[in-house]
Chains A and B, each alone.
Chain A
């Protein structure tokens, strides 16, 4: 009976599945790792990884909300990191970050323009830009890494952009929380959010109500590119260096995080909190496999298996909630 009472809550909140999975994994990982996983340093690392992946995930969630998909974010992340590092040596890191975000926004604009103007499926368009900008990143670095010398990794703006800590937490976590609050408010409280979800739910209906569907989708792509570049900037600030492979395969993690977090790939229904929990789950699993010294050959296999298991668990929970 008590179980039946929570059914409507599970139905209304698609993110409950992933939150339960996250809690379960935290308990299992903490109990089975003899303190190697659950310590302040490791949790801090997990949160930093969650933050940069999470910013990308938030952007992808917005595009998914509009009924499209953006798989180019891994390359945008890399370009953002490289632009930031190259410029941070020459100008103030804040300006460098601004330039990197602009570059990300422009990549998003290219995606959005191609998708809305030509009507080409976003999967194909962003698959193309994924390869194009990965290629550019590799060409720019020509096999080397862009890095900032240790002595220059100082200054308030450098530290605020992922290169420092506040209260033991990497500053990227603050950016993540900030963006979560801002985007959450835009989605729930502003006309833009209402229209974004309407476009994803039924673009024909939204159009018939006078919503400028193309503009809304375009804006989602621009936000997505900008957020991916912000993730790249913060990761670059944390590491102090980056090569042409920065952010590779992260696009898949971001999409997996969205789906695990209850975002409907068909569009119209997303949960930002759920998507971020998904990003946290993925980073936690990765960290667990690292601290348990799982042989790197098996790393991807195990990660994939856990993702599939989590997805199945979440799916059966949702189906249970839909049953009478």
Chain B
């Protein structure tokens, strides 16, 4: 697997927010067909790193290669067009729009009448209804309901369902099991496994090293904007990795002081 060229290759990435050095010289490779657990404490830079990958932030220096080509312009539109789907924690759904409209936001299916693009409501409803049923949302939830009405778990289900339904090459999940019940959590983890088995790259971000150690093929640990560990799960146990997280934080603090 590691013989093949990486699908995403990050080289010496630095990102500053004003004077704050959010990512420090991060280099990491991600391959198709693998599930990578991205782990670290709050503020370690996990979310910032994936926000570069999904196009929200442009790096201050360093390069990102996708499928061997250097990425020049960073915008979520480009990332989505390339097949990089991101399930983020706080964003992704607009409360004021219906489920069907949220589902296709940014890539609405259209029927052209006299060249004028009109939304294809039938298609929008059909696919989002399928996902609503598949994910076991309440029976009285319809594709035309505003997202506002949904619970935290239902919102998460919509985001995940959307990521699964479109044909993608990369699915990035940022704390996908927050707000979820035990059963929903298992469902999400099972889906993540299926996506990996279908040959997609799955990047799974979490605090919970024990949970992701069971799922992932590889673990990348971040701390203070740096990558401090990158290993396969068969080489290190969850306990050892947890020690790295604890230990790593302290070492970096001392080095900085």
- Let me know if B197 is at the binding interface, CB within 8 A: no
Q: A212-B77, A269-B96 are in contact. Are A189 and B119 (CB under 8 A)?
A: yes
- Let me know if B22 is at the binding interface, CB within 8 A: no
Among residues 207 to 234 in chain B, which have CB atoms less than 8 Å away from a CB atom of chain A? Answer: none
- Let me know if A33 is at the binding interface, CB within 8 A: no
* Contact A268 B77, beta carbon cutoff 8 Å: no
What total of chain B residues lie within 8 Å of the partner, measured CB to CB? 32
* Contact A210 B101, beta carbon cutoff 8 Å: no
User: B77 contacts which chain A residues (CB < 8 A)?
Assistant: 210-212
- Let me know if A137 is at the binding interface, CB within 8 A: no
Q: In the complex, what's the smallest C-beta–C-beta distance from B15 to chain A, in angstroms?
A: 17
* Contact A268 B76, beta carbon cutoff 8 Å: no
- Let me know if A93 is at the binding interface, CB within 8 A: no
* Contact B119 A208, beta carbon cutoff 8 Å: no
- Let me know if B54 is at the binding interface, CB within 8 A: yes
- Let me know if B114 is at the binding interface, CB within 8 A: no
User: A204 contacts which chain B residues (CB < 8 A)?
Assistant: 90-91
A208→B77 CA distance, assembly (Å): 8
- Let me know if A205 is at the binding interface, CB within 8 A: yes
Among residues 169 to 201 in chain A, which have CB atoms less than 8 Å away from a CB atom of chain B? Answer: 189-191, 194-195, 197-198, 200-201
User: A209 contacts which chain B residues (CB < 8 A)?
Assistant: 76, 80, 92, 105-107
- Let me know if A202 is at the binding interface, CB within 8 A: yes
**Interface residues as binary, A210-221 with B (CB distance below 8 Å gives 1, 0 otherwise):** 111000000000
Q: In the complex, what's the smallest C-beta–C-beta distance from B27 to chain A, in angstroms?
A: 25
What total of chain A residues lie within 8 Å of the partner, measured CB to CB? 21
Q: In the complex, what's the smallest C-beta–C-beta distance from B152 to chain A, in angstroms?
A: 15
- Let me know if B141 is at the binding interface, CB within 8 A: no
Q: A189-B118, A190-B118, A212-B75 are in contact. Are A206 and B106 (CB under 8 A)?
A: yes
Return the contact of A201 from the options B90, B94, B107 (Cβ within 8 A).
B94
- Let me know if B236 is at the binding interface, CB within 8 A: no
Q: In the complex, what's the smallest C-beta–C-beta distance from B62 to chain A, in angstroms?
A: 22
* Contact A208 B56, beta carbon cutoff 8 Å: yes
User: A136 contacts which chain B residues (CB < 8 A)?
Assistant: none
Among residues 67 to 92 in chain B, which have CB atoms less than 8 Å away from a CB atom of chain A? Answer: 75-81, 86, 88, 90-92
* Contact B107 A210, beta carbon cutoff 8 Å: yes
- Let me know if B108 is at the binding interface, CB within 8 A: yes
- Let me know if B199 is at the binding interface, CB within 8 A: no
* Contact A197 B116, beta carbon cutoff 8 Å: no
| Residue in A closest to B121 when the chains form the complex, CB atoms | A189
User: B88 contacts which chain A residues (CB < 8 A)?
Assistant: 208
- Let me know if B117 is at the binding interface, CB within 8 A: yes
- Let me know if B95 is at the binding interface, CB within 8 A: yes
A189→B124 CA distance, assembly (Å): 12
**Interface residues as binary, A74-97 with B (CB distance below 8 Å gives 1, 0 otherwise):** 000000000000000000000000
A208→B88 CA distance, assembly (Å): 8
Q: A189-B119, A191-B119 are in contact. Are A206 and B75 (CB under 8 A)?
A: no
Q: In the complex, what's the smallest C-beta–C-beta distance from B113 to chain A, in angstroms?
A: 10
A131→B95 CA distance, assembly (Å): 36
**Interface residues as binary, A233-271 with B (CB distance below 8 Å gives 1, 0 otherwise):** 000000000000000000000000000000000001100
- Let me know if B7 is at the binding interface, CB within 8 A: no
* Contact A200 B96, beta carbon cutoff 8 Å: yes
* Contact A205 B117, beta carbon cutoff 8 Å: no
Return the contact of A198 from the options B78, B94, B107 (Cβ within 8 A).
B94
User: B191 contacts which chain A residues (CB < 8 A)?
Assistant: none
User: B110 contacts which chain A residues (CB < 8 A)?
Assistant: 190-191
| Residue in B closest to A186 when the chains form the complex, CB atoms | B116
Q: Residues of A at under 8 Å CB distance from B?
A: 189-191, 194-195, 197-198, 200-202, 204-212, 268-269
Cβ-closest 4 pairs across A and B: A201-B96, A210-B77, A201-B94, A209-B106
Q: Residues of B at under 8 Å CB distance from A?
A: 54-56, 75-81, 86, 88, 90-97, 101-102, 104-108, 110, 116-119
12 extra interchain contacts, Cβ-Cβ under 8 A, other than A268-B96, A269-B96? A189-B118, A191-B108, A195-B106, A197-B97, A198-B94, A198-B97, A201-B94, A204-B90, A208-B54, A208-B92, A209-B80, A210-B80
